[in-house]
Structure 1
């Protein structure tokens, strides 16, 4: 069962953030990747002051941190309204022992460093949003996974997310509102998985992956930014929140609509055996394509959030 259809309405959640014209100071840790750049652009265009914590600072608004230890970067947190932590090694790799260690440590250590830094601030941030992932839920072909009833299992990816969230919520003494963003695939043209999907589709390889019955949960990059802004604006939202569109689609339908939006008439299917061979060659894991993510943003919808792109066809039409 897919999510319930939710229409778009003329609602600007960002207006609630700018009462009396006050702008925010926002810190994005690990903000040089795709999602960090998307959020930086969104909030900067709204007039907010955005600072990036990164290992490789190159711009005037980028501050060095090693994502492990406290340091002079702590002063950047003083007086900030919001901290967003997106730090973590990409899971688009082979799950060998070394990569597994780095994937876990990059998430846990950066979260621990921010936890300590916020505790040392005289004027700490009011809101802390920490990345998590909808892969915390089990492979689900029938049951819809919301924050209340979603089933969390026991494998490498799920245990990474559990460890990540456990560290994030461990210290309850900090005077900061904490939100774990259980985000699905974010669709955008300048990063993430979507440009690769478009490329293989244009090459004629855009058929279903595996049996094509696995659910794909997704969100348009603009709705991702709007959801983050909405969460910041609504003080009653704390804890774990699914950040995804309300209508997941089957993999075979996802690829069919993508082909149609790109004007590609056919796409060669990719059976599991072919995907397993290809994943070794290109250095990734088949889980990224074959796990059924059937996720629903119940808490966002219950609080009044409305999506600009609730349907995958709308998202593809805007992005293509």
Structure 2
């Protein structure tokens, strides 16, 4: 299968490539040299690089697209300029892909396009399935980004092209993502819950994330929206206790929300919005999680980093 991959040098994309060794992959990247360095674990014989799609007239030569590109949403304060960068890094490339699909006589049979559980807004303690309507308060930025991103991708849906939207949760991995950012204070024994810690964290192990994407790639009759998160989300206070326990450290400190408001501003919603998401559609089509519970997932990841 010839797969066009955007976001291939990111945290999820670079791990996903390891699972696509039997396919011909074209990675969309600004710099092929930097991408090769980032993807030094990959077999270069099955990977091509392209710096832009503007010279392409269609996607007749592509079998499937996995669209993960986007400016990281949690690394910087959400200034107006950063919001624009977050939005357009997702929307513009997705619109370009959709236009090329529509211009194709023999379009790709599959588009798997990214989104996030931020689509749902702050759902408090309610269980969230794929059909749960979002709660949008004060024009929630995360919802706005995801809703438009999904709407653009769905324009590619036709009798020739199926579209799968993946609403990803908090991806836990040893090489990047949220866990790596959380570890330092917990290693030094000063980690703890955020605010009251009641907000649910829809987590997923990086291996289950990439396995779920490749599973959707193989399910030729499957389309629609999928929550990519483990079946058992936990409140932040429970997550914090388990992380501290796995590291054999105390979990005594609570950081009030106002501190994050001062430091992060509006982007603190990433930490405090509660999304008790369940992967209903994914499990209905037969996907089995390797890590459905948090404690075994943390133990495996922290062993691989030598943190225990």
TM bin, normalised by shorter chain, reads 0.7 to 0.9
Say which of 137, 142, 152 aligns to 2:120: 137
Question: Helix, strand or coil for the counterpart of 2:134?
Answer: coil
- Bigger mean CA deviation after superposition, 173-182 or 25-34: 173-182
Summarize the alignment of residues 166-177 of structure 1 with structure 2, pairs less than 5 Å apart: 166-173=151-158, 175-177=160-162
Matched, 1:37 2:14: yes
Alignment correspondent of 1:26: 3
Q: How far does the alpha carbon of each residue in 1:146-185 deviate from its partner, in whole angstroms, 9 at most, with x for none?
A: 0123435341111111111111112445721111111111
CA distance 1:113–1:128, shift in 2 (3 Å): same
Report the Cα distance in structure 2 between the residues aligned to 1:265 and 1:152, rounded to whole angstroms. Answer: 35
Deviates more, 1:237-246 or 1:147-156: 147-156
Q: 1:98 aligns with which of 81, 94, 99?
A: 81
Contact 1:144 1:150 in 2 (8 A): no
Instruction: Measure how far apart 1:38 and its partner are.
Output: 0.9
Query: What residue in structure 2 maps to residue 111 of structure 1?
Result: 94
User: Does the C-alpha gap of structure 1 residues 31 and 101 become closer, same or farther in structure 2, counting only changes over 3 Å?
Assistant: same
The 2-side partners of 1:205 and 1:174 are apart by: 54
Conservation of the 8 A alpha-carbon contact between 2:117 and 2:275: yes
In the alignment, the residues of structure 2 paired with residue 266 and residue 171 of structure 1 have an alpha-carbon distance, to the nearest angstrom, of 47
Question: Counterpart of 1:53?
Answer: 28
Q: State the alpha-carbon separation in 1 of the partners of residues 72 and 109 from structure 2.
A: 28
Shift of 1:78: 4.2
Structure 2 CA distance, aligned partners of 1:82 and 1:132? 18
* C-alpha separation in 2, matches of 1:179 and 1:171: 10
CA contact (8 A) 1:146 1:242 kept: yes
Report the 3-state secondary structure (helix = DSSP H, G, I; strand = E; otherwise coil) of the residue aligned with 2:184. helix
Structure 2 residue runs of 5 or longer lacking an equivalent are 37-43, 303-308
Q: Which runs of 5+ in 1 are unaligned?
A: 1-23
Q: Does 1:65 align with 2:51?
A: yes
Question: Which residue of 2 is the match for residue 298 of structure 1?
Answer: 280
Separation in 1, partners of 2:130, 2:66: 20
SS at 1:186's partner residue? strand
In the alignment, the residues of structure 2 paired with residue 152 and residue 217 of structure 1 have an alpha-carbon distance, to the nearest angstrom, of 16
TM-score by length of 1: 0.84
Alignment partners' CA distance in 2, 1:117 and 1:255: 45
Given that 1:135 and 1:161 are in contact with CA atoms closer than 8 Å, whether structure 2 keeps it comes out as: yes
Give, in whole Å, the separation in 2 of the partners of 1:267 and 1:110: 44
Mapped to 1, the partners of 2:109 and 2:68 lie a distance apart of 17
Tell me the TM-score normalized by structure 2. 0.87
Deviation at 1:266, TM superposition (A): 3.4
Tell me the equivalent position of 1:81: 63
Larger RCO (CA under 8 A, 6+ residues apart): 1
